[in-house]
Amino acid sequence: MESIIAAAITGVLTLVGVMVANSRSQAVLEVKIDELGRRVDKHNEVLERTYALERDMAVVKSELKVTGRE
């Protein structure tokens, strides 16, 4: 009977330990995912600005061609 009680206590403590470790690693993953999301947003903003600059340059180049100032 004592061995069953000891096994049950050990099992419960192991389960609690696993749950605590799992919640901590989940919190770390959430922080990393949030940081990655911020980096992706920043990257996308740079791309949008680059495309806008390229579009504006194309307009300026075509205006220069029209006025003959290439």
40 is written with which tokens? 């992706």
Count of CA atoms in the C-beta half-sphere (13 A) of 11: 6
User: What is residue 67's predicted lDDT score, i.e. its pLDDT?
Assistant: 85
User: pLDDT digits over 13-70, tens only?
Assistant: 999 999 999 999 999 999 999 999 999 999 999 999 999 999 999 999 998 988 877 6
User: Is a pLDDT exceeding 80 seen at residue 1?
Assistant: yes
41 is written with which tokens? 């947003």
- In the block, tokens 């004592």 appear at 2
Contacts of 64 by beta carbon, 8 Å cutoff, 6+ apart: 70
Helix (H) or strand (E) run with residue 37 in it: helix 2-67
